[in-house]
Each structure stands twice: as structure tokens, then as C-alpha cells.
């Protein structure tokens, strides 16, 4: 897809995505469930720059192609910094003002030379959309200093560069491009239930910020931040959809061969109903995720609503689907060897990141609230 001169029509685009999906499923499947594939393979396959401009060594595609990879990452429960480096990192760079420094960093990320991590919100809060920037710039005689803390930053441990969302000296959101080892900046790994992902606590205590490290958004900074948070929410919805589909396939396959009382358990009505319920939840999630991806890829003004619908449904139902899969596998489902626990833990983490289903439903309900009605109090605990 690199260097395409024109956008393909709908049928051609669908064919490209099907081919991309097949390649991704094969590559991630060969690595094994929960096993990390070589990051250089992803760079060589062009996955890191799918929605980056062709002029900057990207594929010139859209978020719709990124969503295909995200769904296959979820299906394979694959580790790797794709969420931090591509979804958040490259997504942030694409919204910044172009320049030699930004363009050079984007090329390095697309080539796999640098792994980015972006701290856009404090992940310990329930509602990402209602959170102020986790960092702030403070004037000092020696130049601006960075203060603040961001918890549960995806892929911060081991990242080669950090993009930190901060309130600028004028109050407008800006991005601070900084090295993890900079004086006054500390990155501490935070253990989580999901062993396929890495998160870090990023704390700034007066870190010096030279003018060359400040990056401004190309358009309205508030709208750009909302777009990034919606992008993150939809990315997690794609991941959750992929892992839900994997769990349904595994459960149906197991129900066909596991026998009880001389019959496959899939012939029992209760098992049929449980699998049908899983299918219904996945089908609804698939439609909402598809609509959200299309709106994000097309820069639709209604992308925020679609993102909240997809996040609340896909991430909420994924926990139920994986839980049902564990039960329908019987005793073997609770063993380490079955691997279902990997999907359940990942689904539970996806549900909490960048706004819980309840937080996104509050966002959706706010569209119908009268101006005189008070705002609901946001939750402050991750769950």
C-alpha cells in the first residue's frame, strides 16, 4: 500500500483489508497465543505506519487499516507496544504542526527505530474525556518546567521517547517531546493483571523543557485531544472485539468435541443458548465498532458518539463473553494450560482503560441533559 497515488474504492479497500487481516492473523498466530512477535517484523510489514502519510514513509492508508491490526492483536492476545507506539504515539504526531523535528520522529517510529509512548490522561481516573492534561508547564527563570503525574501510561516502560500532554503557559494543551531519562522525569513500571501489556507511572518534578521539545497541535488543541482519546477508545474496542471472536470460536470448537453423557456438549440446549448469547453480543459490538472506525477514519464530527458506543459495548461484552467461555469449557477452562485466563484478564483491563463502559454511557447520556441539570460526579477509581 505504500506510495498509493489515489484512494481505493469501497470494494478495493475491503479487499486490501481482508488481505491485511489474513497476513496479520498468520503472523500473530505463528507467534503463539500471548507470545510477543519481533517488533521488526511489524515494521517490515508496514503495520507501524499504516495511517502515516506516504511522504513520511507511511502507507498513506487510514485508521480503518490500523483497526484491522488491532482486532487481530486482540484475537491472538498478542503483546507488544502497538497501542502506545502506533495508536497513541503516531496518532498524536499526525495532529501536531508539521516540521523537521516532528517529521523526523514520525519516520523513526514508522521504521521501528524508536518506540513511542504517549501520556494523554491520568489512567487512574474513570473518565478520560473529563480529565485535564496530566502535566502542566510552569514558568521559571531558566525556562519552562514540567510538573505532573500520569498513571497507567501504555508502553511507557522501555519507550525511547515520551509524548506528554501538558497545559501550556497560556493554558492551551501542548505536547512535550522528551527523553525518558531526562532530569526531573521518572518512569516506573506499574504491574497490572494483564500480563500481555506494560504500563508505567510517569512523574515530572520540574523537568526542564527547552523550546525545541514543545509541540503544538495543528488545529484546535481541545478538539485534537478529544480525537486522540476517541482513537484510543475505539482501538481498545477493536482489541476487545477480536478477543471476543477468538473466545467464541474456541468455545464452539470445544463444544463440538467435548462429550458428556455420550453426547457432544454442544447438543445440550443450555450450551446452545449460552453460545447464541455470546454471538449476539459480539454481533452488536461488531456493528458499533465498524461504525466508529469508519467515522474516525473519515474524520466525521460524530465520531465521539460512535466511539463511546463502541467502547461501552465491545469492552463490556468482552468480559461477559470471556467469562462465559471459561464456564463453558468446564474445569479445563480454569486451568493455566487452557489460556482463557489470558483473554479474560486482557478484556478486564480493556474495560477500564480510557473510560469504563459506565463513563462512556454517561458521556452519551449527557447529550440529552438540560443545561440547568448538574453534571454527574466523575468516578476517581480505576475499575
Binned at pLDDT 50, 70 and 90, residue 382 comes out as very low
For residue 91, count other CB atoms closer than 10 A to its CB.
25
The CATH number for 132's domain is 2.40.110.10
228 and 191, same domain (yes or no) = no
- CA quadruple 360, 170, 299, 288: dihedral, nearest 10: -10
pLDDT at position 50, please? 95
- Structural domain includes residue 1: no
39 and 64, same domain (yes or no) = yes
Last residue of one domain, picked from the residues 175, 194, 215: 215
225 and 364, same domain (yes or no) = yes
287 and 347, same domain (yes or no) = yes
Alpha carbon 171 to its chain centroid, in Å, reads 27
Closest CA to 143 of 203, 202, 204, 214: 214
Cα 322 from Cα 242, distance rounded (Å) = 11
235 and 263, same domain (yes or no) = yes
Residue 383, pLDDT above cutoff 80: no
The CATH number for 87's domain is 1.10.540.10
- Structural domain includes residue 327: yes
| Model pLDDT for residues 343-377, shown as the tens digit of each residue | 999 999 999 999 999 999 999 998 887 665 565 55
Residue 219, pLDDT above cutoff 60: yes
Last residue of one domain, picked from the residues 92, 114, 136: 114
Residue 2, pLDDT above cutoff 60: no
- CA quadruple 152, 356, 90, 191: dihedral, nearest 10: 20
Residue 3, pLDDT above cutoff 60: no
- Structural domain includes residue 230: yes
Average of per-residue pLDDT across 138-156:
95
108 and 133, same domain (yes or no) = no
142 and 231, same domain (yes or no) = no
99 and 180, same domain (yes or no) = no
- Structural domain includes residue 375: no
Query: Could you give phi then psi for residue 300, rounded to 5 degrees?
Result: -70, 135
- Structural domain includes residue 2: no
Query: Could you give phi then psi for residue 104, rounded to 5 degrees?
Result: -65, -40
Last residue of one domain, picked from the residues 80, 114, 148: 114
| Model pLDDT for residues 98-127, shown as the tens digit of each residue | 999 999 999 999 999 999 999 999 887 777
Give the range of the structural domain holding residue 147, as residue numbers without chain letter: 118-215
pLDDT at position 291, please? 97
Cα 253 from Cα 159, distance rounded (Å) = 39
User: 295 forms bridges with which residues in the sheet?
Assistant: none
Closest CA to 67 of 29, 110, 103, 24: 24
Mean of per-residue pLDDT scores for the chain:
91
pLDDT at position 381, please? 42
158 and 236, same domain (yes or no) = no
Binned at pLDDT 50, 70 and 90, residue 201 comes out as very high
Domain count along the chain: 3
Cα 376 from Cα 111, distance rounded (Å) = 44
Place of cell 501489556: 197
78 and 156, same domain (yes or no) = no
278 and 292, same domain (yes or no) = yes
Query: Could you give phi then psi for residue 236, rounded to 5 degrees?
Result: -70, -35
pLDDT at position 15, please? 85
Amino acid at each position: 500500500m505504500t506510495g498509493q497515488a489515489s484512494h481505493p474504492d469501497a470494494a478495493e479497500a475491503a479487499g486490501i483489508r481482508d488481505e491485511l487481516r489474513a497476513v496479520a492473523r498468520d503472523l500473530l498466530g505463528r507467534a503463539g497465543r500471548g507470545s510477543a512477535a519481533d517488533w521488526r517484523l511489524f515494521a517490515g510489514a508496514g503495520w507501524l505506519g499504516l495511517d502515516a502519510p506516504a511522504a513520511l514513509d507511511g502507507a498513506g492508508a487510514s485508521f480503518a487499516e490500523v483497526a484491522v491490526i488491532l482486532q487481530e492483536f486482540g484475537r491472538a492476545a498478542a503483546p507488544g507496544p502497538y497501542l502506545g507506539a502506533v495508536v497513541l504515539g503516531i496518532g498524536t504526531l499526525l495532529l501536531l504542526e508539521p516540521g523537521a523535528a516532528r517529521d523526523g520522529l514520525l519516520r523513526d517510529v514508522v521504521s521501528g527505530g524508536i518506540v513511542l509512548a504517549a501520556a494523554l490522561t491520568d489512567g487512574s481516573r474513570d473518565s478520560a474525556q473529563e480529565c485535564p492534561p496530566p502535566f502542566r508547564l510552569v514558568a521559571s527563570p531558566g525556562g519552562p518546567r514540567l510538573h505532573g503525574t500520569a498513571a497507567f501510561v501504555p508502553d511507557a516502560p522501555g519507550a525511547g521517547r515520551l509524548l506528554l500532554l501538558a497545559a501550556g503557559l497560556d493554558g492551551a494543551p501542548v505536547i512535550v517531546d522528551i527523553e525518558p531519562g531526562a532530569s526531573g522525569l521518572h518512569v516506573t513500571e506499574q504491574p497490572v493483571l494483564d500480563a500481555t501489556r506494560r504500563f508505567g507511572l510517569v512523574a515530572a518534578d520540574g523537568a526542564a523543557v527547552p523550546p525545541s521539545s514543545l509541540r503544538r497541535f495543528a488545529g484546535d488543541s481541545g478538539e485534537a485531544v478529544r480525537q486522540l482519546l476517541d482513537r484510543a477508545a475505539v482501538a481498545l474496542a477493536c482489541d476487545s472485539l477480536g478477543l471476543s471472536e477468538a473466545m467464541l470460536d474456541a468455545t464452539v470448537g470445544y463444544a463440538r468435541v467435548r462429550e458428556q453423557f455420550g453426547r457432544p456438549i454442544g447438543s445440550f440446549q443450555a450450551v446452545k443458548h449460552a453460545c447464541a448469547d455470546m454471538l449476539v453480543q459480539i454481533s452488536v459490538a461488531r456493528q458499533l465498532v465498524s461504525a466508529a472506525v469508519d467515522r474516525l477514519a473519515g474524520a466525521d464530527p460524530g465520531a465521539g458518539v460512535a466511539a463511546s458506543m463502541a467502547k461501552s459495548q465491545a469492552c463490556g461484552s468482552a468480559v461477559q463473553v470471556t467469562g462465559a467461555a471459561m464456564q463453558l469449557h468446564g474445569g479445563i477452562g480454569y486451568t493455566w494450560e487452557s489460556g482463557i485466563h489470558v483473554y479474560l484478564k486482557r478484556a478486564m483491563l480493556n474495560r477500564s482503560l480510557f473510560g469504563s463502559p459506565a463513563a462512556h454511557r454517561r458521556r452519551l447520556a449527557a447529550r440529552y441533559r438540560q443545561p440547568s441539570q448538574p453534571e454527574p460526579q466523575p468516578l476517581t477509581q480505576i475499575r
